[in-house]
Homo-oligomer: A and B are copies of this chain.
Amino acid sequence: MQWGRAGNTIDHMKLKEFAKQLGLSPTTVSRALSGYPEVSEKTRKRVAEEAVRLGYRPNINAVRLVTGRAGAIGVVMGRNGEFQFSEYMSGMAERLDSEDIDILVTPIAEQGGNDESQLYSRLATSGRVDAVIIHSPMPKDERIALLHRLGMPFLVHGRSETDVPHAWLDIDNEGAIRRATSHLIDLGHRRIAMINGRAGLTFSLHRDQGYRKALEQRGIPFDPRLVAHGHFTDELGFRFARSFLEQSPRPTAFVAGSMMTALGVYRAVRSFGLVVGRDISVIAHDDVFPYLTADNMVPSLSTTRSSLRAAGARSADLVLQLLSGRPANEIHELWPVELILRESTGPVPHSDAFPDRTG
């Protein structure tokens, strides 16, 4: 599309003009502002001061053209505007605030159609971004191979099993869920239901593994009927929890994938006339949202906690490192996850612990 320049009255001083006012050449001014060593400290200072006073700022598009840099990091937003997303971005923003780098959000088209990799391909070749962050990867994620092939620097938020060397930042999902499950087992629970994220995603697999390992360690048989996968919505939390609670014997504890899921689980438990923390224990993973906090739930929710905002900030940092030349396969960070016990977890009720006596 083509639009007029109407309205865009902002008239910048140009380098040439600015340099003339200073009695210097454009070259020197440019160098002074970019902090090159060839220019004397005195001159640099003067240039910097005058730039502020006269309001000179380099035309960013000219800079981009000549340097070949886009000055932006691309993020692809999931198909259904996930609630976690803005928190992660806030974190990124926090870190990028001091740099001269933007965040470019490319949303994936609703109707889907042409496959996702084409979107990434376009993003990578468009020259709009210097790097890309990939979310919710799968063990064999073709996006990783694709971006590697295209030579576009990228960071994976999460992990993948691909051979392609790549930078990643992830939280210890397996350990978190293992500890959560173990703790429930310590409390006497034996039938523990697990509402996990979408099937096929690495973090879901890791959580499944953590869950299974905890059971294994204590010799508790794994029952596939106690595990569900899906989006992190209150609706699915509710539905899955209800269907689990309809089983006989019913589970006495839940591991929920997110705060939204936990909301659904709470509702489901209540709808059975049961009480969370007494009849049914619940632990959920908490990404630490300002608008929905585990402490405030009733009863307060035990969680595995890891700040998504912090992850966003660190991600931005790592991308900057990547761009300044640090090799991708040196950039691997695995963050531990806290386990915070609150009121939603408690010892298994006596009647459930020995169902044969009552039934």
Contacts and interface: CB of A to CB of B under 8 A. Distances in A.
B6 A325 contact: yes
Interface in A1-41: 1-10, 12, 34
A97 B260 CA distance: 29
A233 B292 contact: yes
Contacts of A60: 126-128
A260 B291 contact: yes
Contact of A107 (B94, B125, B151): B94
A134 B224 CA distance: 49
Contacts of A124: 10
A55 B130 CA distance: 20
Contacts of A3: 69, 130, 323-325
A263 interface: yes
Interface string A68-80: 1110100001001
Nearest to A312: B81
A232 interface: yes
Given A99-B1, A235-B296, A263-B263, A62 B59 contact: no
A153 B99 contact: no
A232 B132 CA distance: 32
B7 A82 contact: no
A82 B238 contact: no
Interface string A316-332: 00001011110010000
Contacts of A359: none
A218 to B, nearest CB: 33
A271 interface: yes
Contact of A296 (B82, B96, B103, B264): B264
A104 B72 CA distance: 9
A125 B77 contact: no
B267 A297 contact: yes
Given A5-B68, A81-B87, A298-B271, A235 B293 contact: yes
B125 A12 contact: yes
A9 B298 contact: no
A121 B240 CA distance: 49
